[in-house]
Structure 1
Amino acid sequence: MKLGFIGTGNMAGAMMGGIIKNNVFKPEEIIGADLFAPGREKVQSLYGIHVTDSNMEVVKSAEVIVLSVKPQYYESVINEIKDSITPEQLIITIAPGKTLEWLGEKFGREVKIVRTMPNTPAMVGEGMTAACPNQYVTKEELDYACKILSSFGKVEVVSENLMDVVVSTSGSSPAYVFMFIEAMADAAVADGMPRAQAYKFAAQAVLGSAKMVLETGKHPGELKDMVCSPAGTTIEAVRVLEERGFRSAVFEAMKACVDVAKGM
């Protein structure tokens, strides 16, 4: 096996889907471990990978190991596998708050680790992942890890001091965006639009707006101004959002997210 996952939940499944779709690895080159039988059976059914209930089987089989369990289980999983990790194996982590220093202390020896923070849009190939290697990872190994991560979206190498900010900016932010889309759709339904159509209009507006930011290179404020005609409908909506503290609410939510990530 070339790639192993310890934990086969939603994020792991999203990563597997992109990796297989883009032919980075074949299904038969991937193994996933999960104590929860329905979880591992789901990814086996969806992607045709090997599955097991043994974390040690993954460690003994795979060249690259993704620790895709929840943060609270990291220490127990590391305690289980640390003595069997070889100097050649590469560990990819996806847990917020678990620093390279913390991870190194838990493994208790020199282990190649790339700390990452992906997000759920990986499920549709539009993920955004930050990556940060420890001192034992070579440039070639980091490039290899980034090749894996880029199979389900975009990836950028960042300094570790930014990783908690990444959690709030891309890791958790899909939830904020989904809430925004839902709120817009609810308002449209209140004004008579069928719900399915309301979700489509709202989601496509968000998708198109994000694409404009990425592809035009223009400042979001400039793009906002392009929509706001004098005495028009949009500027009135913007006025109400400002009055109700829209920017401040987003700002404070993201600060709170960072604070929790730092405490994990």
Structure 2
Amino acid sequence: MVLSGLKIGCLGGGAMAEALLTGLLNSGIAAANLFVSDVRPERIEYLQRKLGINGVQGNRDLVQELDIVILAVKPQMVEEVLHETGAAFYPGQTLISIAAGIPTAFIEGFLSQPVAVIRVMPNTACLLGAGASALCAGKYAGAEDRERAMAVFSAVGKAVQVSENLMDAVTGLSGSGPAYMFVILEAMADAGVRVGLPRDIALLLSAQTMLGAARMVMETQEHPGRLKNMVTTPGGTAIAGVYALEEGGLRVTLMRAVEDATGRSREMSAGLKTRGEK
């Protein structure tokens, strides 16, 4: 196992850190090898009590303990945390950042030694072990570091590797994608209510339908267009509904949502400079 015997911890103990630590526990990593720090002592105590992991009060102390450090703070806190901890990192460690929009070069600029940095864009479904994550490697990261990161995020869903120039596209698609799915799901449930279904039943049927459709794509490996064709019989109900979706421009609207979110991610990333450029 790639992560066997390694000490892994999160700088920051928020919801995503909790999801990752829980996933790692469920994958077989011993609680004794998992660590967390947070500015809120009560949060550290909560995670210690719930997961049985190690709580560390100081960020620098945490970094010095670990083989894999997961930077799990909000993007606006990254610079402050790296100012505090940058000199504590050492070669051989893997630093994984889940801070949205923060380039690997920006992080590397705060480190006093050449340390492997992996940037990851997860999404909120990691909280349920059903996340979609994409990762890219910084200039000092090798195959072993990428394997470590893949193992961490495979513990909470599906993970893929991309080049860093595609991370904004990942943010626009899977990073922001749950919001699009929730809008579609809410609209389907509202439609069910409009045609006479009780709201709780309409929501349950809509959510299960979305879940089932996604599983069919994942498990059959069939193109979604082919699966759609299997449902739409000549002159039937499904093709009437699909026609209404096409007439309303749903396909183009979703494509534009991904494109606009990608563009916004690029704008946010462009505002950051590496430390050496300041």
Compute the TM-score of the two structures, normalised by the length of structure 1. 0.91
Looking at structure 1, the residues matched to 163 and 79 of structure 2 have their Cα atoms a distance apart, in angstroms, of 23
Return the alpha-carbon distance in structure 2 between the equivalents of residues 51 and 195 of structure 1. 43
C-alpha deviation, 1:201, in angstroms:
1.3
Summarize deviations over 1:192-223 as a string: whole Å, max 9, x none.
33333322211111111112212222221222
Match of 2:156 in 1: 152
Report deviation, 1:41: 4.0
SS in 2 for 1:113: strand
- Residue 37 of structure 2 contacts residue 58 of structure 2 at CA under 8 Å; is this kept in 1? yes
CA RMSD of aligned residues (A): 1.9
**Which string of whole-angstrom CA distances, capped at 9 and with x for unpartnered residues, describes residues 5-56 of structure 1?**
0111121111111111111x22222111111345434433432222244222
Following the alignment from structure 2 to structure 1, what is the Cα–Cα distance between the partners of residues 48 and 172?
Answer: 31
How many equivalent pairs are there?
263
Aligned counterparts, 1:158-177, within 5 A: 158-177=162-181
Q: Look up the SS of the partner of 2:208 in the other structure.
A: helix
What amino acid does structure 2 have at the position aligned with 1:104? E
CA–CA distance in 1 between the matches of 2:229 and 2:43? 47
Q: Distance in 2 between matches of 1:9 and 1:240?
A: 42
Paired position in structure 2 for 1:200: 204
Deviation for aligned residue 1:88: 2.1
Is residue 263 from structure 1 mapped to residue 247 from structure 2 by the alignment?
no
Q: Which runs of 5+ in 1 are unaligned?
A: none
Work out the percentage of aligned pairs sharing the same amino acid: 38
**1:115 matched to which residue of 2?**
119
Residue number in structure 2 paired with 1:13: 18
1:73 to 62, 73, 77: 77
Residue among 206, 210, 216 paired with 1:212: 216
TM normalised by structure 2 equals 0.87
Task: Tell me by how many angstroms 1:106 deviates.
Answer: 3.2
Distance 1:93 1:192, change over 3 A: same
CA distance in 2, matches of 1:72, 1:137: 24
Q: Which runs of 5+ in 2 are unaligned?
A: 1-5, 269-278
What's the offset of the Cα at 1:107? 2.7
Alignment partner of 1:32 is 2:49:
no
